Amino acid sequence: MQKIGVFVCWCGSNIAGTVDVERVAQAVANEPGVVISTDYQYMCSEAGQLKIRQAIKEYGLTGIVVCSCSPRMHEATFRKTAQAAGLNPYMVEIANIREQCSWIHKDKDEGTEKAIILAKAAIAKLHLNTPLKAGESAVTKRALVIGGGIAGIQTALDIADAGYEVDIVEKSPTIGGKMAQLDKTFPTLDCAACILTPKMVDASAHEKINLFTYSEVEGVSGFVGNFKVKIRKKARHVKADLCTGCGVCTEKCPSRKAPNEFNQGLNKRGAIYIPFAQAIPNVPVIDTEYCVKMKTGKCGLCATVCPSKAIDFEQQDEIVEREYGAIVAATGYKLINLDNFEEFGYAQNKDVITSLELERLMNAAGPTKGTLLRPSDNEHPHEIVFIQCVGSRDVSGCGKPYCSKICCMYTAKHAMMIRDKYPDTKVHVFYIDVRTPGKNFDEFYRRAVEEYGVDYIKGMVGKVVEKDGKLLVQGSDLIANEQIKIEADLVVLATAIEPDPSVKNLATMLTASIDTNNFLTEAHAKLRPVESPTAGVFLSGVCQGPKDVPETVAQASAAAAKVIGLLAKDKLTCNPCVANSNELLCNGCSQCANVCPYGAIEYINKEVNDHGKREVRRIALVNEAVCQGCGACTVTCPSGAMDLKGFTTRQIMAEVDAICK
């Protein structure tokens, strides 16, 4: 039997005004187990807490019930009080007789009656409380950033600057991501490379940052503070430690058939290549699909010309296992496939291009050295049509239901840059809505219209067809209520963006959840925007939702701050109110693991002693560091083996019984 003390708080007149606190204290004094029941003006005050501490010592209490304000307010306070008096902090129950009683009821009798019942329910629950101990787990002081774009680089730099080790895993041969492909960035028109490449260099030169380029995460196990990650380092067929990055091999390679991914396939590259001049690391990769030596065995020219003997055709993939305290997903985006939009003729006409292709066509390091030439005949386009919302805000199933967010601004940027560089070019933009909510964004868009004379047309394009070497664009002008036809030289599609396809597999590995559009979901849409619901997994950049560069960088730094906060701890205290399976009742059916949102339940084979019979059984084991204590498993469990500490089935039943007496 517990020895229980009941402490009824007046809260000045807040409670005492509508609840007869003395009567409450008297009414519960004779409840089983109650050895002392008293009231006081302010229980949370120093004097009130002293009263509790003294009572605990004097009567040798094993648990206390405080009838006061909401547990959301002072539960922590009274737990500390109990702990100071040598009691387990989880032997404290709060009866909420302020927010849920005195403040909402006017009749004093009614309020007092209810307060007595709430106190009795708390006592009934406390009888079944057991001392709980919060577990602790060590923290591996290293973070993993998955994705080496601007989001990943920024997160890694911030974490590394705080003094923690960071590994970046990037699936392509170089870090830099999509931003490296951009020409200029809105709204200031900074050159993307000029602001990105110094960051790339910083990341590679930082002593705390370790780059795994041309690598992929293969498996993740463990939990917050103690992740174990398998990384596959794909074979480059070039020994990175010997290679000097001189580039002779890339020049001599006779194969010129592979589409250049960095230039969005607008030109070709060799089978051995460095993605772009500022690539980090500056080590080539052999594309085995196009390498003549790899396919026929006859060539090996690169190996012959390499002055440092770095080419290794026999190189194999390598698996590295590393331990981390925190993981940041920064997997970024890609453009959607335009096969569903044949009305724009992207696949048929070379001169219908995506905005990312236009970025490369305008970039000084691009296939045209920065001169805007149309891909079909390398002529200057004189009339250009931009089409916005291609695949965005589309619920018909062809595209994506969300707004891709960045297209309005980059289209304004492109239109402005073209008008600036080639004033004789006519530029039309078909838009549904122009969305420019950002600092200096609307001003930027208005400048495109007012200063640069870009022709914005409210309406959508219905079709694009080729006619006598021109592109006939037919669309509607809703303001003029007309259907207009424009003979354009170049059509640019503001293509919707979607999360990188690798994120699906990654989310499964991390037990992070993804939404219907495959964006990673945050722990709370408003208050925890950079954390995933899985403890220790953080989100950075477009993998969480469409973002432009400034927003991505802001979120990247926010994620880094969260990681630093986690890595700064030597030990993690776990919430002790977690699920717990009774190994004698568990039949290993896996239903609990199916509903667990955190992947906190695993199965082990364990020898159990069932009434003297010893046998090995498959039973559920809850990882207390991962479990967040929602209780979904407890209700799902068909054998009643799962229970939630602090909110056990018996405890809640006891409360129900006490209330319904």
The reply on whether position 85 binds other proteins by CB under 8 A is no
100 — phi, psi (to 5°)? -105, 15
Return the number of the residue (6 or 361) whose C-beta is nearest other proteins.
6
The reply on whether position 372 binds other proteins by CB under 8 A is no
Return the number of the residue (463 or 571) whose C-beta is nearest other proteins.
463
Comparing CA positions, the residue from 410, 375, 419, 373 lying closest to residue 389 is 410
* Binding segment (CB under 8 A) for other proteins, from list 175-183, 288-296, 313-321, 625-633: 625-633
Comparing CA positions, the residue from 100, 33, 27 lying closest to residue 64 is 33
Comparing CA positions, the residue from 599, 597, 588, 604 lying closest to residue 642 is 588
Torsion angle defined by CA atoms of residues 446, 452, 458 and 463, in that order, rounded to the nearest 10 degrees: -140
**Binding residue count for other proteins, defined by CB under 8 A:** 73
The reply on whether position 89 binds other proteins by CB under 8 A is no
CA–CA dist 463, 98 (Å, integer): 66
CA–CA dist 174, 281 (Å, integer): 6
Residue 422 in contact with residue 454, Cβ under 8 Å?
Answer: no
In whole angstroms, the minimum distance from the beta carbon of 110 to other proteins comes to: 4
In whole angstroms, the minimum distance from the beta carbon of 655 to other proteins comes to: 5
In whole angstroms, the minimum distance from the beta carbon of 657 to other proteins comes to: 6
Q: Return the H-helix or E-strand segment holding 119.
A: helix 108-127
Return the number of the residue (535 or 619) whose C-beta is nearest other proteins.
535
In whole angstroms, the minimum distance from the beta carbon of 607 to other proteins comes to: 30
The reply on whether position 108 binds other proteins by CB under 8 A is no
Residue labelled with tokens 């230039």: 263
Selected from 101, 123, 175, 180, the binder of other proteins by CB under 8 A is 101
Selected from 84, 189, 472, 595, the binder of other proteins by CB under 8 A is 595
Amino acid in position 6:
V
Span 535-594, contacts to other proteins by CB under 8 A: 577
CA angle 524, 527, 529 (to 5 degrees): 60
Burial class (CB in 10 A: 0-12, 13-18, 19+), 102: buried
The reply on whether position 360 binds other proteins by CB under 8 A is no
The reply on whether position 96 binds other proteins by CB under 8 A is yes
The reply on whether position 71 binds other proteins by CB under 8 A is yes
Selected from 105, 206, 268, 470, the binder of other proteins by CB under 8 A is 105
- Strand 63-68 versus strand 92-96 pairing type: parallel
Selected from 51, 74, 79, 114, the binder of other proteins by CB under 8 A is 114
DSSP letter string over 144-180? Answer: EEE--SHHHHHHHHHHHHTT-EEEEE-SSSSS-GGGG
In whole angstroms, the minimum distance from the beta carbon of 349 to other proteins comes to: 17
Q: Bridge-partner residues for 323, per DSSP?
A: 228
Selected from 347, 597, 609, 638, the binder of other proteins by CB under 8 A is 597
The reply on whether position 98 binds other proteins by CB under 8 A is yes
Return the number of the residue (275 or 399) whose C-beta is nearest other proteins.
399
Report in angstroms the alpha-carbon separations of 222 from 325, 327, 355: 10, 11, 41
* Binding segment (CB under 8 A) for other proteins, from list 113-121, 249-257, 284-292, 487-495: 113-121
Return the number of the residue (276 or 386) whose C-beta is nearest other proteins.
386
In whole angstroms, the minimum distance from the beta carbon of 12 to other proteins comes to: 15
Note the helical H segments in 229-307. 248-252, 292-296, 301-305
Selected from 266, 461, 490, 497, the binder of other proteins by CB under 8 A is 461
The reply on whether position 649 binds other proteins by CB under 8 A is yes
Tokens at 175, concatenated: 């870090």
Site string for other proteins, 120-159 (x = CB under 8 A): -x--------------------------------------
The reply on whether position 475 binds other proteins by CB under 8 A is yes
Site string for other proteins, 628-647 (x = CB under 8 A): xxxxx-xxx-------x--x
Residue 494 in contact with residue 411, Cβ under 8 Å?
Answer: yes
Return the number of the residue (262 or 430) whose C-beta is nearest other proteins.
430
CA–CA dist 634, 648 (Å, integer): 9
Selected from 188, 337, 483, 590, the binder of other proteins by CB under 8 A is 483
The reply on whether position 531 binds other proteins by CB under 8 A is no
Span 383-402, contacts to other proteins by CB under 8 A: 389, 393-399
Q: Bridge-partner residues for 413, per DSSP?
A: none
* Binding segment (CB under 8 A) for other proteins, from list 117-125, 270-278, 310-318, 350-358: 117-125
Neighbours of 508 (CB within 10 A): 13
Return the number of the residue (460 or 585) whose C-beta is nearest other proteins.
460
The reply on whether position 103 binds other proteins by CB under 8 A is yes
Residues 6+ apart with CB under 8 A from 607: 614, 615, 616, 617
Three-state SS at 617: strand
CA–CA dist 400, 241 (Å, integer): 44
* Binding segment (CB under 8 A) for other proteins, from list 34-42, 171-179, 471-479, 610-618: 471-479
- Strand 165-169 versus strand 209-212 pairing type: parallel
Three-state SS at 253: coil
* Binding segment (CB under 8 A) for other proteins, from list 194-202, 217-225, 418-426, 469-477: 469-477
